[in-house]
Amino acid sequence: MNLIPILKAILSIVVGLLAGNLVSEVLEQIFVKSNLKSSLKINKQILILFSAVAKYILLLVGFILAIAQFDVSESIFQIFSLVVVFVVVVVIIYSLKDIISNMLAARILFGDGLIEIGDVIEIDGFSGKIVRVTPLAIEIETDEGDKILLPNYSLVNRKIIKKRNTIGK
């Protein structure tokens, strides 16, 4: 048995892993730990997700290159590559379901003007003023000065009472 394809395969996986980790770290440094995040007005979790996706894509490329080192028929290699890409896409979509739900809920609640920053609302027995809205959550400040962070999707199925003094501002 020839060891050269095995060594090439191991090297491909190691290079993919190292490149993925390096790219992920660099993206986190650029996006999360610099001032670029605030200037782009993008949520930190989305940037971390983006760097993780980049990491796993590079690892996947390394894995596919490793398999290519062996004498595998082209059709089997293509089928395997499609299955792996399909699994990665399903995992990414599943990972993004909460983010997508929150963004859609934000569009429904705030895009249509149902509630806005400055409104005083009551939800689940507590009330407060909406002080900040992001694509993922709203921040409510209570009369006592406490800040409550609620995911946008959790507001869609709850009873929200908009206080009288903010109706028709």
Predicted TM-score (pTM) above 0.85: no
In this structure, what is the dihedral angle of CA atoms 17, 20, 26, 27, given to the nearest 10 degrees? -150
Greater model confidence, 41 or 117 = 117
pLDDT digits (tens, 9 = 90+) for 20-61: 888 888 877 776 666 655 555 566 667 777 777 888 888 888
Greater model confidence, 85 or 43 = 85
In the chain, the domains with their CATH numbers are 4-111 (1.10.287), 120-166 (2.30.30)
Alpha helix segments (H runs only) across the chain: 4-31, 36-40, 44-68, 74-106, 152-156
Separation CA 161–CA 142 (nearest Å): 14
At 76, the pLDDT band (50, 70, 90 cuts) reads confident
What average pLDDT does this structure show over 109-134? 85
- In the Cβ-directed half-sphere of 113, how many Cα atoms lie within 13 Å? 4
The per-residue pLDDT for 1 is: 59
